[in-house]
Amino acid sequence: MLNVWALMRHKFLILIVFLSLLCPSPVHKATASAYIDYEVPVNNLTISETTHLDVWKLCEKNDFSYELFLAVLHIEGVNDPKTVSIEAEIENLVNIRNYWSQQGFPDEIVFDLMLLSREIGIEGCEIFIKDSDSNKLKSDYVQKVTEYKYYLEQTQIII
């Protein structure tokens, strides 16, 4: 006698296998580094996945935007961040950001002041503020970094 439940169970298993072939779940590939247990955005830069992971971890540790740091590297033409000290560069940007935050500026202005200070130094930025309207802090450098940061945020790939 034919067992109806066994037949239904086999049909159900076949259906699950068929659906799993049609709709595979996303798989995170582990590359040479055994410690990839995060979802790290990797962008269209000439930086290895391991370097992306190192930059991402340092940015997380310092509460700094990963995409912003990559945008700064890109606009400044740094293709191989091993040539610069990644940790020192992130700490420098964090210190500049903290300096302007402690001066009482709102976050939107701190962002522009941080990038402008990266370009012309804190002292140069203070002179610039005295000589111009603080709402007009967009230099070409600040504009390019901001635009590239936005681009990176919109086109990131998760590994």
Query: Is there a domain that residue 22 lies in?
Result: no
Residue 82 lies in a domain: yes
pLDDT of residue 137: 61
What's residue 42's pLDDT?
46
111 inside domain? yes
User: Quick one: DSSP state of residue 143?
Assistant: H
* Residue 132, in any domain of the structure: yes
CA angle 16, 18, 19 (to 5 degrees): 65
Confirm whether 8 is domain-assigned. no
Count of domains for the chain:
1
Q: What is the pLDDT of residue 31?
A: 39
Locate 40 and state its tokens.
């790290």
Domain interval for residue 89: 38-158
Residue with tokens 């111009």: 132
| Mean pLDDT split into 10-residue runs, the chain, 159 residues | 52 53 45 39 63 88 92 84 79 95 91 92 88 68 91 73
Sign of CA dihedral 146, 149, 153, 155: positive
